[in-house]
């Protein structure tokens, strides 16, 4: 019977980049140093935040794809950045005409998005930590019909 560590490593399906041949669980357990590993088909966890209210603290503990509905003019508090972190916020406009602010995010050209004012729409905001892991960069696409 395989132990939990073996099962987790097998589930990752680690592949040698030069040959394309998967490593066996025994190879990974006896020589666990991997150089430049490539993940194939990672699955991100989705978290439904629900209604935002006027203040929302973003947590990445349970997943990196977050879904929320604006129910007030909301100020978002970002998680602490670190190099390599990124996440997506799918923001439904609810009844519409609400605003949002992300005070600690760097936006393209220094201009944050104006959330779609129409009700029943979706805006998608993506956040990536900077190379120093000290700040967030934000991008957005807007006005989707769900």
Are 24 and 57 in a shared domain? no
Residue 36 has pLDDT above 60, yes or no: yes
Are 24 and 72 in a shared domain? no
Number of folded domains that form the chain: 2
Which domain range does residue 13 map to? Answer: 1-40
- Among the listed residues 95, 96, 84, 79, the one whose alpha carbon sits nearest the alpha carbon of residue 129: 84
Are 24 and 52 in a shared domain? no
Are 23 and 93 in a shared domain? no
Mean pLDDT in the chain?
A: 85
Are 51 and 119 in a shared domain? yes
Are 53 and 22 in a shared domain? no
Q: What are the tokens at 30?
A: 């006896």
- Among the listed residues 146, 126, 145, 121, the one whose alpha carbon sits nearest the alpha carbon of residue 137: 126
Are 121 and 135 in a shared domain? yes
Q: Supply the DSSP symbol for 110.
A: G
Bridge partners, residue 136, by sequence: 105, 129
pLDDT tens for 53-84 read: 999 999 999 999 999 999 999 999 999 999 88
| pLDDT at position 44 | 81
């Amino acid at each position: 019977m395989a132990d939990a560590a073996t099962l987790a490593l097998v589930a990752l399906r680690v592949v040698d980049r030069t040959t394309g041949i998967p490593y066996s669980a025994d190879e990974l357990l006896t020589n666990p140093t991997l150089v430049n590993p490539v993940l194939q088909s990672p699955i991100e966890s989705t978290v439904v935040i629900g209604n935002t209210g006027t203040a929302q603290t973003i947590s990445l503990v349970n997943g990196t794809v977050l879904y929320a509905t604006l129910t007030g003019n909301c100020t978002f508090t970002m998680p602490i950045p670190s190099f390599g972190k990124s996440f997506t916020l799918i923001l439904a406009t609810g009844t519409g005409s609400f605003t949002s602010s992300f005070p600690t995010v760097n936006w393209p050209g220094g201009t944050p998005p104006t959330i779609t004012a129409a009700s029943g729409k979706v805006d998608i905001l993506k956040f990536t930590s900077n190379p120093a892991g000290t700040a967030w960069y934000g991008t957005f696409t807007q006005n989707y019909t769900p």
